[in-house]
Structure 1
Amino acid sequence: MMLTVLSIDITGIGISGGFPSGFCRIRTLQNLSLPGNSLNGTISSESISLCSHLRNLNLSANVFVGELPEFVPDFVNLQSLDLSLNNFSGEIPASFGRFPALRVLCLFDNFLNGTIPSFLTNLTELTRFELAYNPFKPGPLPSDIGNLTKLENLWLPYSNLIGEIPHSIGNLARLNNLDLSNNNLSGEIPNSIGGLRSAVQIELYLNHLSGELPESLSNLTALLKFDASQNNLTGTLPEKVAGMPLLSLNLNDNYLEGDIPQTLAWNPNLIQLKLFNNKFSGVLPAELGRYSDLEDFDVSGNELTGGLPRDLCFRKKLQRLVAFNNRFLDDLPDSYGGCNSLSYVRIFNNELSGEVPIPFWSLPELEFLELRNNRFGGSIPPSISGARGLTELLISGNNFSGQVPEEICRLQQLVVIDASRNQFSSEIPSCITELKLQKLDLQENIFSGEIPSRVSSWTELTELNLSSNRFSGKIPAELGNLPVLTYLDLSGNLLSGEIPAELTKLKLNKFNLSDNKLEGKVPSGFNQKFFLSSLMGNPNLCSPDLKPLPPCPKSRPATIYVIAVLATAAILLLMSLLWFFKTKSHSFGSNPRRAWKVMKFQQVGFSEEDVLSSLTDENLIGTGGSGRVHRVKLKTGQTVAVKKLWGGYRKSDTEAVFRSEVETLGRIRHGNIVKLLSSCSGEEYRVLVYEYMENGSLGDVLHGEKGGGLLDWPKRFKIAIGAAQGLAYLHHDCVPPILHRDVKSNNILLDEEFCPRVADFGLAKTLRRGDGEADSVMSRVAGSYGYIAPEYAYTLKVTEKSDVYSYGVVLMELITGKRPNDSSFGENKDIVKWVTEAALSSPEPTSDDDCNCCQDLGQLVDPRMDSSTCDYEEIEKVLNVALLCTSTFPMSRPSMRRVVELLKDHKLAPPK
């Protein structure tokens, strides 16, 4: 019996090597599908010619390079050709216009740099035409595009299109999706667009289109989503268009003027309404939301007046309410207090007044609340504790008053509080130190009492501003132990006592203690002119040489009596400490097997008793967001790192971090991921034992006291590739895939040879598929300031591309040696914006002598690197990968598997 092979499908199993043309020697073969592998090299015309009898050829998501192959005329049966997601470059060959039966042509996400040729319009059987995300030369959309009358999907974003949209576009009567976004198209939207009677979605945003919207849009009775945002459109919104059966209408960032038509409010299909950054004026239709399942509402950046429509959430479906930068008046409607679906609110920079409805503060799905710069009054009610998912509370520039309730401490997801420029009074709840804050701004209120001192959990805090209040007492010395604090402003208060010397350990971009009642000698770290203005207004401060501060009086000799008392106290204290540690050690060591649950993930030569007895302050090497890390040298001579997670009031968070680390690291093995050796869990503590990394974290080496001079370029490049390999393993080789969600330089550890290990999986989550969605996403707060992808601010979602963005920031740190939020970048700039602007303005290199990159890329390259180790081409390659990884749009970012290939093999062209 002879077998007939019709199809070969080898998807995503990691095969490598060149194009396996031998498969095509099977003459009965009709379908060859090899996507998602590591096939590489070029594809010659000779090898591809063996496949002329195929009907479907899919080589997508591999790493093929070079020019596209010429196809011989024998490919008369080919119906589908997918070469997307590779590294092909050059022109599209003329043979691509001679496939008489071709229905699907996918060449998107390559490096094709010719123009889109007109001969592709000869493919009259095409239903899918997808060339997006290629660096084509500027050129027009072929004028004969209307010849493709069977086309259902025309997908050409990021294709460098110029000129006008051809009039013939109206011939595509079967087209479901038209996407010409993110190009440089100009002129008016042709009236012929009304011929796209099957269109469900039209995307024209981010072009230079002008003129008014054509009335013919009202002919598109199937259209559910229309987005012509971020163009130069003018005029008003046609009433007929507003009455269409739309699910989504996006016209933001244009020059549309006039009132918003009342017919929009009567559209029963409207789910998404986005009209931001136009010139709409007048009052919003009162019925908006009453007759539709409105979920996403954005009218920000207009000149709208009156009140917000009270029925906006009538159907209880509204999730996003964005109306900032208008002139809205009146109170926030009471009906909004019952909008339990609401998760994202931005209505700042208006003239809204009155008290915020009490139920509004406790909406169960609320994650982001921004009410800044209005005229709201009243107080924050204790019921705010009901908004358990709230991550950012931004209410500055209002007339809120009263005491901040202690119930705010129950919002364990809260990372940003900005309540500045209000009239809050009384003391700050001491429990606020239990929150894992990244920013706390309470300036210009009437707060009093002392600054909370137990701040050890603020390990992610980057900004603390308590200025212009009535705080008294001493400055807590514990503030000096916060590892990432860069902004500290305590000016304009009633603080007394000496300036704690511990504050000099901070790497501060902003520092201000002026206008208080501080006294004593200025610590040596602040005794310089740079800090003088931050110290003024404290009459009792003194300095030996910093003018105009008065000189410090000479200290009087201590009496023998005082010395004796101090010596006695010191001895008693030492004995107490010895007794404490001895009893603590016994408590750990007594009956450990009964008190502790132990899990071992590697072959280890130590017991839990060896580890637990060594968790003393003498062995402490670091404090992080989830616990304290100790360096423990065992009896065997082995050194391990032991993380003891926080307990007590943070027990629920501790358990989540512990479970995430154990579930993630306990089941994976990779040379670039830190090894979890064992874990111990008891009633009060959770302990994790890792392999010890001799050189600490990449963040410490780049930004710590050792300085980045320890890392020459070869070491940095080695770290870049190793970290990428570790993340690629998590994303692509784990089943289900794993998202790290907190990629940063402090979470990349370095062994004695500076080989990197990705670490700290306390926020990691598995990405489960097959539940009806293409990608599962998580909405729990994840990431650290400076590393968080921009889309998180709007969606509060985390995907694989969020990790890719954070990794791109790490690459920029490796190149520049700067922190993600360095003050040298200037106002409102982070490392991504600074590097992008600098890279795009850098001249081409003139020679390769002595690391010309240090000059040609201006201030980008870390000057602490040994210039003799610089490799301009390699640095430029890493820079371009970093720019790709930090693209604004997640779809534009490469996968981590592709990042590894780009770093190892491909030479990217410099950015234009």
Structure 2
Amino acid sequence: MAIFRASSKFIFLFVICYCVIFVSSLNHEGNLLLIFKRNLIDNDNSLQSWNSKDSTPCYWDGIECSDDYKVISVNLSQFNLSGNLSSSICELRRLTILNLSKNFISGPLPSELANCGNLEILDLSTNRFHGEIPPQLFKISSLRQLLLSENFLFGRIPEELGNMTMLEELVVYSNNLTDNIPSSIGMLKNLKIIRAGLNILSGPIPVEISECDSLEILGLAQNRLEGPLPKEIQRLKNLTTLILWQNLLTGAISSELGNCGNLELLALNDNAFTGDIPKELGKLSKLKKLYIYRNKLNGTIPPELGNCVSAVEIDLSENQLTGFIPSELGQIPALRLLHLFENILQGSIPAELGKLKQLQNLDLSINNLTGNIPLIFQNLTLLEDLQLFDNNLKGVIPPLIGANSNLSVLDMSENNFVGSIPANLCKSQTLMFLSLGSNMLSGNIPYGLKTCKSLVQLMLGGNRLTGSLPLELSSLNNLVSLELFQNRFSGPISSEVGNLKNLERLLLSNNYFLGTLPPEIGQLQRLVSFNISSNHLSGSIPRELGNCTTLQRLDLSRNRFTGNLPEEFGDLVKLELLKLSDNRLNGAIPYTLGRLARLTDLQMGGNYFSGRIPVELGQLTALQIALNISYNALSGEIPDDLGNLQMLESLYLNNNQLDGAIPSSIGDLSSLLVCNLSHNNLVGTIPSTPVFRRMEASNFIGNPGICSSETDPCHPSFTPSISADLSLMKQGSSRDKIVSIVAVVIGLVSLVLTIGVCWIVKCSMPVLVAFENSEKTEASDTYYFPKEGFTYQDLLEATGNFSESAVIGTGACGTVYKAIMSDGMLIAVKKLRSSGEASNVDNSFRAEILTLGKIRHRNIVKLYGFCYHQESNLLLYEHMENGSLGELLHGNPNKCSLDWDARYKIALGAAEGLCYLHCDCKPQIIHRDIKSNNILLDASLEAHVGDFGLAKLIDLPFSKSMSAVAGSYGYIAPEYAYTMKITEKCDIYSFGVVLLELVTGKSPVQPIEQGGDLVTWVRRSAQNMMPTSTIFDQRLDLSSRRTTEEMSLVLKIALFCTSLSPVNRPTMREVIAMMLDAKEASCSSTSSPTSETPLEEDAANR
């Protein structure tokens, strides 16, 4: 028994020892993996199965072993891991697959990865690795797939790439790789896939790439590759996908591409290719998608493209293609998308396109197409998006268009269509966007459209439509925009309009609506713009309109409204424009209007308002365009508080019963261009300020006892009595406009004639032209010279005979000198190059004079005068003490005197100056060279937009000097490079670049190793979700939450302004509104600093 007990104890101890040994016997490869794990941070405990008590790692998550329990694969994709990559993983000698993709692992790539000698697949994509790609990595000769995309790798692709002779896939897109593509890539005979887009690769596409015989996919989009497309690419007989969009490629599209018979996707868009579209592309019978839009292609569309029988999408838009649309395109049976918009195509739309039974999206807009829409289009049963706007099409819209398809977008605006709106446009109840504006359509809105539940935007303005505002529209719950302006609609506005809860734009102006405005309008809580001007509405304005607190633009002018203006209008705090003129409103002007802090334009003239001018109007410090309360029955004194309106340009108080003296505070409004105080009961002396000295005498007539100076006795003069008759009030408002227009025209003609005469005479004596006060025309009164008796000799002395020491800058057309006059006054003198040096100087000089001579705004550099002297052309400007914004921002890379508040103020001022050029100058002025060096700063760092040597007056056909390329590198909108067409959106893009400069502190063009051009660098940072603190100018104090939040909002505005498509860019008025919103939002926000959050950007702009 004792022996049995002894042996039992022995067996028990043996089992215990065996178990202990078994538990602690994790093999060598398992221990290597645990060492590898120590460098990782397992955020979700995804590696909890990696247990040191196991004998083998073969059953751990993400691990795969061979039959003899050797680790051959580590796949930890999407495990939410962070930390660093340890090279200890390479001690797994049989490892063939290492996949760590879609995690948050950071740090450099270890060069010791070269020790993974048997590795066939290395996938480190979608992480946060940074640094250069180690050349040692390319010693892994067995590697078949190298996947490093979506990281932060930089530097060049090593030349050693050619050593990986077994490589089949090279995927490195979305990094910051630079320099040329190595020519050694041609040694990779097994390579099937190259994807290196969204980097900063430069130089030409290496010819050697054509030696990659197995290549099927070549993707190099969104880089800076330049030069022509190598003809040798035709050797790639297996190539199915060629993606080269958004580079700097030039020259003709190689006709040899037609020899790549297996090509299915060809994307060459967003480059600078020129010449014709090669007809040889018609040989690509397997081609499914052809994208060559947004280039500089000209010539005609080759009919041979009709042989691309497999094509499903063809986009040739935004080029300079001419001629006719080939009917052969109607032979492509599977075609779903055809985009030919924004070219110079002419002729009729071929009826053969109606045979494309699979067609879903057809856009032929912005061309010169004529003729009718083919009736066969009614049979396109799959058509969803049809855009034909901005052509010269005529005839009737096919009556069954949309009847047999699921149409969602239809835009035929800006043509010459007649007849009625087809009844079946929304038969399928899928139509969301309908724009038929600016045609000659007549008749009523058809019932099928009035009951189209899917409609989001309905735009029918500028036609001859009749009938009443349909009651059925009130059931369209998705409607956001309803535009029926400039038609012949009549009858009352139904109270059911208040059911359109999602409505943001309601534009009903220039019709024949009558009756009262229903109070249910106040239920439209999302309404942003409401215009019902020029109708026959009567009755009182409903106070419920004050509930529409999101309103930004409200125009009720030119109706027959009566009664008091509701005090509730003071609740419309987002209002920027309020027009109530030419009605029959009476009573006092509500003091609550003083709450409308964003108001830029207030028009209340031509009513019966009485009582005093509310002092609260002096709180409307954003007023810029006009304060017009003329032709009313207002009495009392003019409030001193109106002197607070420092941005105001036009003040109309005329034809009232105002008394007392003219406040001197109004005379100190330096931005004031018009101040009409005529036909009141004002007395005393007109304040002697520069503003009033420039004003015409007609602005003060009809006031008893008023005088122009203290030396002249003030006595009553013959003054027409102010009549309360409404007809006088109404016609006076229009009369002043006519007089002003005539005066401006006369002044401009006089100015041009004066310049012309002086130019012809070419006197040997210098001719100095001063924009002095004049009593002849309003236009000449606008401009003045700072001192009478000024001579050319004075300029020579003030500039040291135009010495180098007086130079303060250079521009596109000449040199700027600092002139110190004898009385101490500073003037900037721009000396243009003589006509002998540059043929365009004369035209530039004339254009600048014509432009600047019309402009007076606090944020525009003032032109004091000009001078011709022999071959010297001189412009005399207001001197800016603090130079240009560019100098202050970029002069010292380590220090900048501009804090964020100063930068915001500069941005807002420049925006207001540019907005004045775009919106308030007639004709509209486009600057064409907005940049930080053309934004000048006065002593108080107020911004002034300058250098109009390249400005273009849209309505001046003789301004031929403006046809040359304009703008500065880094600021030029992308569409201008391809179309050479100038719009205000080009200026807005440039202004967006300036905003990016202010936020980042970077120049618009950087060295390649520092990110390249500023817009691309910021967008890439946005796409990679980088914290905004890495984007902001590090010279600024970023410790303030308010500052960082405001900078983030301005950054988003800048990205909006620099949208790739000009259609997506805001107007300057919208930019100003957004900037004011940014200031308000940052002051009221309580969230954490946005400098610690990544910046997200809409993928559409990538």
Q: Tell me whether the two structures share a fold, i.e. TM-score over 0.5.
A: yes
590, 595, 615: which is aligned to 1:501?
615
Query: Cα distance 1:49–1:457, how it changes in 2: closer, same or farther (>3 A)?
Result: farther
Measure the CA separation in 1 of the matches of 2:518 and 2:422. 30
1:7 partnered with 2:136: no
The corresponding residue for 1:174 is 286
- Are 2:590 and 2:614, in contact at CA under 8 Å, matched by a contact in 1? yes
Query: Cα distance 1:140–1:381, how it changes in 2: closer, same or farther (>3 A)?
Result: same
Deviations 1:568-616 (Å, cap 9, x if unpaired)?
xxxxxxxxxxxxxxxxxxxxxxxxxxxxxxxxxxxxxxxxxxxxxxxxx
Query: Cα distance 1:853–1:360, how it changes in 2: closer, same or farther (>3 A)?
Result: closer
Query: Cα distance 1:389–1:78, how it changes in 2: closer, same or farther (>3 A)?
Result: same
The corresponding residue for 1:252 is 365
Following TM superposition, by how much is the alpha carbon of 1:144 offset from its aligned partner in structure 2, in angstroms?
0.9
- Are 2:229 and 2:254, in contact at CA under 8 Å, matched by a contact in 1? yes
Following TM superposition, by how much is the alpha carbon of 1:118 offset from its aligned partner in structure 2, in angstroms?
2.0
Instruction: Give the secondary-structure state (helix, strand or coil) at the position aligned to 2:509.
Output: coil
Following TM superposition, by how much is the alpha carbon of 1:8 offset from its aligned partner in structure 2, in angstroms?
2.6
Measure the CA separation in 1 of the matches of 2:1016 and 2:530. 32
Instruction: Give the secondary-structure state (helix, strand or coil) at the position aligned to 2:593.
Output: helix
Deviations 1:617-651 (Å, cap 9, x if unpaired)?
xxxxxxxxxxxxxxxxxxxxxxxxxxxxxxxxxxx
Farther off after superposition, 115-124 or 80-89: 115-124
Alignment of structure 1 residues 640-719 onto 2, 5 Å: none
The corresponding residue for 1:874 is 1003
What code does the residue aligned with 1:838 have?
I
Measure the CA separation in 2 of the matches of 1:66 and 1:898. 26
TM-score (normalised: structure 2):
0.54
Following TM superposition, by how much is the alpha carbon of 1:85 offset from its aligned partner in structure 2, in angstroms?
0.8
Query: Cα distance 1:115–1:811, how it changes in 2: closer, same or farther (>3 A)?
Result: farther
Alignment of structure 1 residues 404-443 onto 2, 5 Å: 404-435=517-548, 436-443=550-557
Following TM superposition, by how much is the alpha carbon of 1:475 offset from its aligned partner in structure 2, in angstroms?
2.1
Query: Cα distance 1:10–1:541, how it changes in 2: closer, same or farther (>3 A)?
Result: farther
What code does the residue aligned with 1:306 have?
G
Query: Cα distance 1:837–1:282, how it changes in 2: closer, same or farther (>3 A)?
Result: farther
- Are 2:639 and 2:663, in contact at CA under 8 Å, matched by a contact in 1? no
1:186 partnered with 2:298: yes
- Are 1:289 and 1:314, in contact at CA under 8 Å, matched by a contact in 2? yes
Measure the CA separation in 1 of the matches of 2:898 and 2:944. 28
What code does the residue aligned with 2:597 have?
P
Higher relative contact order (CA 8 A, sep 6+): 1
Deviations 1:490-536 (Å, cap 9, x if unpaired)?
11111122222232232222221111111221123546998775111
34, 48, 65: which is aligned to 2:148?
34
Query: Cα distance 1:821–1:442, how it changes in 2: closer, same or farther (>3 A)?
Result: farther
Instruction: Give the secondary-structure state (helix, strand or coil) at the position aligned to 1:827.
Output: helix
The corresponding residue for 2:227 is 114
Farther off after superposition, 142-151 or 27-36: 27-36
Measure the CA separation in 1 of the matches of 2:410 and 2:346. 21
Query: Cα distance 1:853–1:402, how it changes in 2: closer, same or farther (>3 A)?
Result: closer
The corresponding residue for 1:534 is 652
The corresponding residue for 1:391 is 504
Measure the CA separation in 2 of the matches of 1:826 and 1:18. 47
Following TM superposition, by how much is the alpha carbon of 1:462 offset from its aligned partner in structure 2, in angstroms?
1.4
Instruction: Give the secondary-structure state (helix, strand or coil) at the position aligned to 1:15.
Output: strand
1:483 partnered with 2:575: no
Farther off after superposition, 174-183 or 821-830: 821-830
The corresponding residue for 1:305 is 418
The structure with the largest alpha-carbon Rg is 2
The corresponding residue for 1:124 is 237
- Are 2:999 and 2:1032, in contact at CA under 8 Å, matched by a contact in 1? no
TM-score (normalised: structure 1):
0.65
- Are 1:813 and 1:819, in contact at CA under 8 Å, matched by a contact in 2? no
The corresponding residue for 1:683 is none
The corresponding residue for 1:269 is 382
Alignment of structure 1 residues 666-815 onto 2, 5 Å: none
The corresponding residue for 2:640 is 524
Measure the CA separation in 2 of the matches of 1:417 and 1:717. 44
The corresponding residue for 1:848 is none
Structure 2, unmatched stretches of 5+, are 1-69, 71-93, 98-119, 665-676, 686-858, 861-879, 936-942, 952-986, 1035-1057, 1061-1102
Query: Cα distance 1:408–1:853, how it changes in 2: closer, same or farther (>3 A)?
Result: closer
Query: Cα distance 1:394–1:893, how it changes in 2: closer, same or farther (>3 A)?
Result: farther
Measure the CA separation in 2 of the matches of 1:402 and 1:881. 58
1:228 partnered with 2:340: yes
Following TM superposition, by how much is the alpha carbon of 1:476 offset from its aligned partner in structure 2, in angstroms?
2.5
Following TM superposition, by how much is the alpha carbon of 1:444 offset from its aligned partner in structure 2, in angstroms?
0.9
Measure the CA separation in 1 of the matches of 2:917 and 2:1022. 24
Query: Cα distance 1:172–1:870, how it changes in 2: closer, same or farther (>3 A)?
Result: closer
1:157 partnered with 2:269: yes
The corresponding residue for 1:372 is 485
Measure the CA separation in 1 of the matches of 2:438 and 2:950. 37
Deviations 1:276-319 (Å, cap 9, x if unpaired)?
12222111111111111111111112111000101111111111
Measure the CA separation in 1 of the matches of 2:184 and 2:616. 71
502, 510, 534: which is aligned to 2:625?
510
Structure 1, unmatched stretches of 5+, are 555-701, 722-751, 757-809, 844-850
Measure the CA separation in 2 of the matches of 1:289 and 1:109. 38
Measure the CA separation in 1 of the matches of 2:913 and 2:459. 24
Following TM superposition, by how much is the alpha carbon of 1:161 offset from its aligned partner in structure 2, in angstroms?
1.3
1:543 partnered with 2:658: no
Measure the CA separation in 1 of the matches of 2:220 and 2:662. 71
Measure the CA separation in 2 of the matches of 1:536 and 1:313. 52
- Are 1:258 and 1:280, in contact at CA under 8 Å, matched by a contact in 2? yes
The corresponding residue for 2:955 is none
Query: Cα distance 1:880–1:278, how it changes in 2: closer, same or farther (>3 A)?
Result: farther
1:90 partnered with 2:182: no
- Are 1:811 and 1:879, in contact at CA under 8 Å, matched by a contact in 2? no
What code does the residue aligned with 2:196 have?
L
Instruction: Give the secondary-structure state (helix, strand or coil) at the position aligned to 1:471.
Output: strand
Query: How many residues in Structure 1 have an aligned counterpart in Structure 2?
Result: 655
Measure the CA separation in 2 of the matches of 1:336 and 1:309. 9
Instruction: Give the secondary-structure state (helix, strand or coil) at the position aligned to 2:345.
Output: strand
Query: Cα distance 1:893–1:174, how it changes in 2: closer, same or farther (>3 A)?
Result: farther
Deviations 1:63-105 (Å, cap 9, x if unpaired)?
2222333234321111111111111222222222221111111
Instruction: Give the secondary-structure state (helix, strand or coil) at the position aligned to 1:448.
Output: strand
Query: Cα distance 1:446–1:314, how it changes in 2: closer, same or farther (>3 A)?
Result: same
The corresponding residue for 2:328 is 216
- Are 2:436 and 2:460, in contact at CA under 8 Å, matched by a contact in 1? yes
437, 443, 447: which is aligned to 1:330?
443
What code does the residue aligned with 1:301 have?
E
Following TM superposition, by how much is the alpha carbon of 1:220 offset from its aligned partner in structure 2, in angstroms?
0.3
Measure the CA separation in 2 of the matches of 1:283 and 1:495. 49
The corresponding residue for 2:1040 is none
- Are 1:472 and 1:496, in contact at CA under 8 Å, matched by a contact in 2? yes
Following TM superposition, by how much is the alpha carbon of 1:882 offset from its aligned partner in structure 2, in angstroms?
7.3
Identity %, equivalent residues: 28
154, 160, 171: which is aligned to 1:58?
171
TM-align CA RMSD: 4.4
Following TM superposition, by how much is the alpha carbon of 1:883 offset from its aligned partner in structure 2, in angstroms?
6.5
What code does the residue aligned with 1:98 have?
E
Measure the CA separation in 1 of the matches of 2:457 and 2:231. 45
Measure the CA separation in 1 of the matches of 2:340 and 2:1027. 32
Measure the CA separation in 2 of the matches of 1:457 and 1:326. 38
- Are 2:215 and 2:239, in contact at CA under 8 Å, matched by a contact in 1? yes
The corresponding residue for 2:162 is 49
Measure the CA separation in 2 of the matches of 1:126 and 1:25. 27
Query: Cα distance 1:892–1:35, how it changes in 2: closer, same or farther (>3 A)?
Result: closer
- Are 2:181 and 2:206, in contact at CA under 8 Å, matched by a contact in 1? yes
Query: Cα distance 1:476–1:852, how it changes in 2: closer, same or farther (>3 A)?
Result: closer
What code does the residue aligned with 2:432 have?
Q
Deviations 1:870-891 (Å, cap 9, x if unpaired)?
99973666999677799xxx99
1:287 partnered with 2:400: yes
Following TM superposition, by how much is the alpha carbon of 1:370 offset from its aligned partner in structure 2, in angstroms?
1.1
- Are 1:376 and 1:400, in contact at CA under 8 Å, matched by a contact in 2? yes
- Are 2:1000 and 2:1032, in contact at CA under 8 Å, matched by a contact in 1? no
Measure the CA separation in 2 of the matches of 1:158 and 1:902. 26
